[in-house]
Amino acid sequence: MKLYADMTPKNTALVVIDPVNSCADERCETPEWKISFNKIREMLPKLELFLQRYRREIGGLVVIANLTPWTKENLPENVNELYTDPDAIYYSDNTDGFDEKFYAVKPESTDLIFTKNSYSVFADGKLLADLKTRGIKYVIMTGVFTDGCVLASIVDGFSHGLNFVILKDLIETTDVPERQELQKLLIKFTFPRLYGKAITSEELLEELK
């Protein structure tokens, strides 16, 4: 048994982190930092197909997270303080809402759309409270970036009592080699040893049927 003994579609939420243009579209890449999103663009259409199957075959709550405009006036004080370091700054120059629009993933009316202004989707407590009200104990985690907002959400959610299943074929990060290597370590060691089950999307569907 790869999953938790009392995990069912009723007490489980499938969470998708930041499938948005600012994390996927070619126009949002940062060549001067050698940041490109080719691997993310390959993954997100697969994630959309999986979401369709999950809704049809399993059911249960789907939560799709997007971002507030990633500008100084919308971010918490600690992020802005971090971004005073030129090596850490990652503000968006978005002015028309393009960055926050979904890329490849198509939410449905039954999905819960949650807008966040920090790395963790659970940072302000609102989503966590909503999930607890619904009796959610387990979270299936997908999305981007594996070593950024996905990681932050897993660590934060786990510290508040949630258990995780991480779909290792439906999380992704930038093409930067160091980040790709870090992603491999997270999937192979950190996630399964510290935070949850790391399995494929096909394995998940077979386990929950």
Instruction: Tell whether 167 is covered by a domain.
Output: yes
Look at residue 90 and tell me if it is in a domain. yes
Q: Which residue has the tokens 């870090």?
A: 182
Among candidates 43, 46, 19, which has minimal Cα distance to 180?
A: 43
Q: How many domains would you assign to the chain?
A: 1
- Tokens of residue 123, six digits: 């940072």
**pLDDT reported for residue 97:** 86
Q: Which amino acid is at 3?
A: L
Burial 138-152 (b: 16+ CB within 10 A, else e): bbbbbbbbbbbbbbb
Domain span holding position 77:
9-208
In this structure, what token pair is assigned to residue 153? 């959400």
| Distance between first and last Cα of the chain | 13
In a domain, 4, yes or no: no
Strand order in the sheet with 12-17: 112-116, 61-67, 12-17, 138-144, 163-172, 196-199
Supply the pLDDT for residue 1. 53
Residues of the chain falling short of pLDDT 70: 1, 94-95
Please report whether residue 187 resides in a domain.
Answer: yes
Question: SS3 for 13?
Answer: strand
Q: Is residue 1 part of a domain?
A: no
Q: What span, in angstroms and rounded, lies between the C-alpha atoms of 24 and 6? A: 35
| CA 174 vs CA 31, 82, 153: distances in Å | 12, 21, 18
> What is the pTM assigned to this prediction?
0.95
CATH code assigned at 55: 3.40.50.850
Q: Which helix H or strand E contains 116, and what residues bound it? A: strand 112-116
Phi, psi of 65 (to 5 degrees): -95, 135
Residue 49 CB partners (closer than 8 Å, separation 6+): none
Residue 185 corresponds to which amino acid?
L
Distance CA 17, CA 177 (A): 21
* Residue 80 belongs to some domain of the structure: yes
pLDDT (0 to 100) of residue 31: 87
The amino acid sitting at 199 is: I
